[in-house]
Amino acid sequence: MPVYGLVVTLERGAACRAGVCAALEADPRFLVGSEGSERLPVALACAGLEEEEAALSWLEGLSGVLFVDTVFVDFSDIESLDRLPRRRRGPSQGR
């Protein structure tokens, strides 16, 4: 099961943070780290690449989410991959 370490950059404001945190906590694939500034540490565990891509697209589309940075990926329990994860581009790099 691939596991991803993410940093989610949020718009400013407690209401925005609360909304994003509530949405993530309602999805068992996500584990939200300690709250602090506008950067939220999040872990994502998926059954495969298709689920990962769908989960990241959903996360990027949440109201209040500015950026999603992948800082860590663990594929250590997977013996082989049919393909590599799709390279994601931020808004400033074009999609």
pLDDT at site 94: 41
Residue range 20-27: mean pLDDT, rounded: 94
Sorting pLDDT into bands at 50, 70 and 90, what band is 7? very high
pLDDT at site 15: 81
Residue range 8-31: mean pLDDT, rounded: 91
Structural domains for the chain = 3-80 (3.30.70.920)
Instruction: Tell me the pLDDT tens digit for each residue of 36-65.
Output: 778 999 999 988 778 888 999 999 999 999
Q: Token match 């949405």: residue?
A: 23
Q: How far apart are CA 52 and CA 50, in angstroms?
A: 5
For the record, the structure tokens of 41 come out as: 């540490």
Q: How far apart are CA 3 and CA 47, in angstroms?
A: 9
